[in-house]
Structure 1
Amino acid sequence: MKFRMALVLVVSLALSACASSGQKMQQENLQALQPGSTTLEQMKQEFGPPISQTFDNEGNLVVNWSYVHVGAFGIGSEQQTLSAMFDSDGVLKRYNAMNGSQPGARLGY
């Protein structure tokens, strides 16, 4: 009985050892973005608060979102980034979204 309880505890801890940062971006929400009509406020509602924002040399606002998930014990990971450029009225001019995942263990140096 004690062995079974210890096994349940170990498995529970292993499954809870995942880590995530940011908000996962669904493909259909990215495809719905419309340059010339989607606003910064709409994107903040959909993707949550951005991780950074700055202005480019031409005065356009550039806003970045990121999502990272690492599985238990560093096995498997997923990363998404979204970078969007807005005009002075806060309307989307263009955007770039990237999605990637890595199977296997993630090793740090």
Structure 2
Amino acid sequence: MGGIDIVPSNIAWVIGDDAGLQRFAPEVDRPHAEIRRLRRHIERQRRANSPGNYHPDGRAKKGCRNWVRSLQQLQTERRLAEMHRYEADMRTHAHGRDTNFLLSKARMVR
């Protein structure tokens, strides 16, 4: 019998006379700077491709349905989506590995 405590970045466990603390999914390292850079790049491409959909002060017009998406913009969006997909895949793998580790220590966890 044992117990676990999961917080956003760490996982702690006590099982019998064994206890430990480890970082939760340590190999998932989100590239915040690259994601921010790609989002800004997509926004610049969107503004360049559909300048009529924006007010002079830079706000998007409400109800515009004629957004033009260039091939370069689609490629940038695919690159961003692939980064998010890879991150989710790595997180799923790490969570499964951590779960299997805890289950190998004890079958009943409270």
Normalising by structure 2, report the TM-score: 0.24
**Bigger Rg, which one:** 2
Query: More strand by proportion, 1 or 2?
Result: 1
TM-score by length of 1: 0.24
